[in-house]
Amino acid sequence: TQLLEQSPQFLSIQEGENLTVYCNSSSVFSSLQWYRQEPGEGPVLLVTVVTGGEVKKLKRLTFQFGDARKDSSLHITAAQPGDTGLYLCAGDEYNNNDMRFGAGTRLTVKP
Amino acid sequence: KAGVTQTPRYLIKTRGQQVTLSCSPISGHRSVSWYQQTPGQGLQFLFEYFSETQRNKGNFPGRFSGRQFSNSRSEMNVSTLELGDSALYLCASSYQNLNTEAFFGQGTRLTVV
């Protein structure tokens, strides 16, 4: 089983819709990161959250870190076709020094 | 500044062969981590190097090895290739460790036939 479970695995929506994807674990993380990966490219970092309960906004993207630092969510408002990609969460487990990734949510936004 | 460069971009090898992949991190970055990405398993951590020393290691067999040079460039080697080693191999560089901002290369797509 993955250390970080992401849901849903696949999501296909129409342009303009809102969506939320989740990243859950039973472990506590010192920090958690969200990446977006497009075909043929490496993942690109979107945000890092470090404080329990923290909320960060990046234009139409809102990231939240759970109070217990075990989970996170990514909410996209008014999705656009350019948001299409694989969204990955990654966390460094408390007292470890490496980043572990979830399997990702593959998002398709249709025009 | 130049990004993370991985070479080669594509590689086809036969079972039993060995392969070496290269990663040049962003200038000034000392941490280089390697990941294997497959459709079924997602991104799996292989190992991390910092200042020429392996600092962390994932759960991969000993056929997977790596090293880092004094200029922070890193190589990973896979010996006795198996069909299941077919994957996208990604390296990520960061200044200190992956808790800070990490930058990924485009990856090397390895196909084992």
* Nearest Cα residue to B31 out of B73, B82, B79: B73
Q: How confident is the model at residue B15 (pLDDT cuts 50, 70, 90)?
A: very high
Q: Sort out which chain A residues have CB atoms less than 8 A from B101's CB and list them.
A: 45, 48
Predicted pLDDT at A96: 64
pLDDT tens digits for range A10-19: 999 999 999 9
Does residue A83 have a pLDDT over 90? Answer: yes
Over the stretch B28-84, which tens digit does the pLDDT of each residue have?
A: 999 999 999 998 788 899 999 999 999 888 889 999 999 999 999 999 999 999 999
pLDDT over 80 at A71, yes or no? yes
| Contact call for B4 and A42, based on CB within 8 A | yes
A·B CB contacts under 8 A: 59
